[in-house]
Amino acid sequence: QVQLVESGGGLVQAGGSLRLSCAASGIIFSIYAMGWYRQIPGKQRELVAVITSGGSTNYADSVRGRFTISRDNAKNTVYLQMNSLKPEDTAVYYCNGRPDGQTYYYWGRGTQVTVSS
């Protein structure tokens, strides 16, 4: 059974920080590219950050310099460190995983992040 389970969401004031975690099970985590996406009410789900199986990263322009994606293969976990949070970062954040060389992928159920002003 493949599972991606997000945690770490919550309510934070603007300018604050949160660290999201996504724990994976049922997959060979080390060969998966992992990503964080978010969905704001009324808008399409958008890519926030990705990290490849080799450790290279990419970020949406809106979060570059504020967010950092990382992975710990020994723990089968991908993280999203979010600093200098803004109210417009408020969204449900989803974890995504895709194995190298494949087109299918898995989603977590999401975790709510709310940034107050």
Compute mean pLDDT per 10 residues along the chain, 117 residues long, and list them.
97 98 97 98 95 98 98 98 98 98 96 97
Would you call 31 helix, strand, or coil by DSSP? helix
What is residue 100's DSSP assignment? Answer: T
CB 96 within 8 A of CB 39: no
What is the per-residue pLDDT for 62? 98
What is residue 27's DSSP assignment? Answer: S
Q: Tell me phi and psi for residue 30, to 5 degrees.
A: -65, -20
What is the per-residue pLDDT for 41? 86
Cα–Cα distance between 59 and 36 in angstroms, integer?
A: 10
